[in-house]
Structure 1
Amino acid sequence: MAIANPGAGTTQALRRQVAHDLGLADLKSALAAGWQDYRAQPQFGLGFAAVYVLVGLALAWVMAGRGDLFSLIPAAAGFPLLAPFCAVGLYEVSRRRERGLPLRWPPVLGALKGHGDQQLLAVGVVLFVAFGFWLMIAHGIFAVALAESGAKSESLAFLLTPSGAIMLLVGGGVGSIIALAFYAATVISLPMLVDRDVDFLSAIITSFAVVRANRTVMLAWAVLIAAGLFVAMLPLFLGLLVVLPVLGHATWHLYRRAVQAAPA
């Protein structure tokens, strides 16, 4: 897979386009615009969210069938890491609505290929590798905690022991750091790769620049996304049929506010 090397000039130009004045009002505006996009074209949001829900249910069914409950916990916690890539099609829907372009499934699905240069695919691979990496770390934390406690069983009762509580605390802390790092890398880069013909490294650098320049607002957006996805996953993932599309469309509008239009 060919990966383009970002030029210093391109990266610096993108950094100069980053807004430094995002406020909580921008989050409210992005959510309102995201809701409007979802209501105007619900078939796309429902379609992409349904795929995400079915994958989540299949993953839960396989792990529960194997009796691997301690894999189910980190998998459920890390599953939202895959949500940004599933929202790529939603970014394209919002982009097309914004520009008055026709909305049909072929061009919307075509956005998943990016601009034909495999840059979006590269980010998708990174996200899936991150998900697998998180599962391996979670298994390691659990194995250490189980060995330290001397427990013979992998029942859920272990979670009520001091070792189980420490395991949840450490695992939650490590998972939060991983999730925050990948949020900072993808929250702006994925909609940018849909919108512009740039390499994925430049897009990720720009994403980190937006988060660094607007720490409070972007952290608030991360908390809102995490809380929204968590609550939506509780009723058999069905809440994601609404929450995921609205957050996906809203992220597009936040990107458009955070990164100024490229010079003509």
Structure 2
Amino acid sequence: MTAFHVMAGSGAGLAHPDIRRISVADVFDALRLGWQDFNAKPSHYVFLCLIYPIAGVVLATWSSGVNMLPLLYPLASGFALLGPVAAIGLYEISRRRELGMDTSWRHALDVRRSPALASILGLAFMLLVLFVVWLLVAQSLYAQLFGEIPAASLPALYQQVTGTDQGWTLILVGNAVGFVFAVIVLSTVVVSFPLLLERDVGAIAAIETSVRATLANPVPVAVWGLIVAAGLVIGSIPVFVGLAVVMPILGHATWHLYRKMVAAPQAK
């Protein structure tokens, strides 16, 4: 039975996979390859990703109560922080397609047998914590600007945010803080989950590799972040339904972006 380990991998030392430098053209090529993976069996992948838009609708409905209205936008935007977790099964499908193996949607669940499952769950928990912290920060910022009593309705909240000086402060400061959270998540997990899916290097090595990949390719990673943000916004507009298509394409593309930035392990 594989030993339970989270922070470190199964090996004796900390792994340091080699990082490649890529161009913006490589980012769009990864997106193209992601589309090809999705287009191979789109019905399977839409089915797999229905949980993401459904969860989005549930969150939106839950937050539509009076006391939760100020968190509607932070929930919708911050939910993207959990996207890398939702796409783990898609990385596995792309990996198997790359190797010429069966790509039935059931194999997306094979991650549960991964030797690095504990590390993957550890990273997922980290993202969940960041998501909760983001909501707490957003709630605190709203309370400081408007007090503890929330708007009585969605139209009232819209008027409060767009029609007052405090509202524009909330928009500017809130989005600036959200940008910081997005940068942290992007830099720490841009290749972390695909790396752990392929190699049991441990959470620390996965995060460290992701940060090194970001520092070595700041412009391509920034472009990738903009593509992800734009895709999630577009997919969220029709009541989150578009995410059932956007999410699998981005998920598959993430695997190919990982392949371009992180060198394959050397044969022993």
TM-score normalised by structure 1 residue count: 0.91
* 1:117, distance to aligned residue in structure 2 (A): 4.4
Q: In the alignment, which residue of structure 1 is the partner of 2:177?
A: 174
Output the CA distance in 2 between the equivalents of 1:4 and 1:184. 18
**Partner deviation per Cα, 1:54-88 (whole Å, 9 max, x = no partner):** 00001111111455211111101111111111000
Q: In the alignment, which residue of structure 2 is the partner of 1:126?
A: 126
Contact 1:189 / 1:203 at 8 angstroms: preserved in 2? yes
Distance 1:181 1:8, change over 3 A: farther
Output the CA distance in 2 between the equivalents of 1:23 and 1:70. 40
Q: In the alignment, which residue of structure 2 is the partner of 1:59?
A: 59
* 1:4, distance to aligned residue in structure 2 (A): 3.9
Q: In the alignment, which residue of structure 2 is the partner of 1:158?
A: 160
**Partner deviation per Cα, 1:110-140 (whole Å, 9 max, x = no partner):** 2155325411111111111111110000000
Q: In the alignment, which residue of structure 1 is the partner of 2:73?
A: 73
Distance 1:190 1:151, change over 3 A: closer
Q: In the alignment, which residue of structure 2 is the partner of 1:205?
A: 208
Number of corresponding residues: 258
Extract unaligned runs of 5+ from structure 1. Answer: none
User: Which of residues 238, 242, 264 is equivalent to 1:261?
Assistant: 264
Output the CA distance in 2 between the equivalents of 1:261 and 1:153. 53
Q: In the alignment, which residue of structure 2 is the partner of 1:143?
A: 143
Q: In the alignment, which residue of structure 1 is the partner of 2:20?
A: 19
Distance 1:88 1:59, change over 3 A: same
Q: Percent identity?
A: 37
SS in 1 for 2:63: helix
Output the CA distance in 2 between the equivalents of 1:103 and 1:206. 27
Which amino acid is 2:204 matched to?
Answer: L
**Partner deviation per Cα, 1:222-254 (whole Å, 9 max, x = no partner):** 011111111110111111111111111011001
Contact 2:19 / 2:262 at 8 angstroms: preserved in 1? yes
User: Which of residues 223, 231, 234 is equivalent to 2:234?
Assistant: 231
Residues 73-112 of structure 1: matches in 2 within 5 Å? 73-112=73-112
1:249 counterpart = 2:249? no
Instruction: State the superposition RMSD in angstroms.
Output: 2.0
